Amino acid sequence: MLLPQPLARGRLVQRYKRFFADVVLDDGREVTAHCPNPGAMLGLNTPGLGAWVSPAAGAKRKLAWTLQLVEADGGLVGINTMLPNSLVAEALAADSIPELTHYASHRREVRFGDASRVDFLLESEGRAPCWLEVKNVHLRRTRTLAEFPDCVAARSSKHLRELTARVAAGDRAVQLFVVQRTDCDSFAACADLDPGYAAGLIAAAHAGVEVLCYACDISVNDIRLARRLPWIDALGQT
């Protein structure tokens, strides 16, 4: 999918109050951008990192720019947590996720569980419905390992339990992690930052929830799902 254009490059001054980022653009302008990421952004909020921002669409936006990419560890990292669902929707429409092909419909934001909405419900006549939850991943701390979450993620743990309940009811359920980085070759749940989620992911997998992880190809023009990464659980198994 194409990123909003044109992107402007600058340097990150600070990220604060979760949704604000001050950036000095390469042309000298100082701007405050919307930061579409509620997480801790460990390693991606360091002052001085290269940053790419897009102009906001529409006159009703309070902030004229949106932070899209950060330069870290020699590459581009997507920090916009709203993009993965659009990336997955595009990939589903093109049947480019082999594990999730040939469903006749892909409905978004369908109610399920305890006052929740699943990201996608995939349906086709003669097949069990597939409940698909998508999570954004941007954390890399050691070597080439992508990790999720980067802080305690109680809501994400709740989603795992709700996916597990759908499997128990006879449906298919999938937890899909989208890694908005190009420098990772495996994925693990982050047990030190959220041991509850790490344990919950393993329990969900043992109960029949399928765990998928895909990395992205990223440029300043576009981003797309590219390749599947192996999942390494807390026991070192894949």
Residue ending a domain, among 54, 78, 102, is 78
User: Taking the model in full, what pTM does it have?
Assistant: 0.94
148-162 pLDDT, tens digit per residue, is 999 999 999 999 999
Are residues 66 and 104 located together in one domain of the fold? no
d(CA 63, CA 40): 21
| Tens digit of each residue's pLDDT (9 = 90 or more) over 3-28 | 988 999 999 999 999 999 999 999 99
Among 53, 78, 103, identify where a domain stops: 78
Please give the pLDDT value at position 115.
82
Closest C-alpha among 127, 87, 125 to residue 108: 87
Please write the tens of the pLDDT for every residue from 108-120: 999 988 888 999 9
pLDDT tens digit sequence for 54-98: 998 765 778 999 999 999 988 999 999 999 999 999 999 999 999
User: pLDDT-derived band of residue 236, with 50, 70 and 90 as boundaries?
Assistant: low
74 and 90 share a domain?
no
Whether residues 20 and 125 fall in one domain? no
Checking if the pLDDT of 200 tops 50, the result is yes
Domain residues for 102?
A: 83-228
Are residues 70 and 33 part of one domain?
yes
In this prediction, residues 185-196 reach a mean pLDDT of 95
In a shared domain, residues 70 and 150: no
Same domain, 213 and 158: yes
CATH number at residue 44: 2.40.50.580
Long-range own/partner contacts, residues 191-196 (CB < 8 A, 24 or more apart): 191/234, 193/147, 193/149, 193/150, 193/151, 193/152, 194/149, 194/151, 194/152, 194/153, 194/157, 196/152, 196/154, 196/157
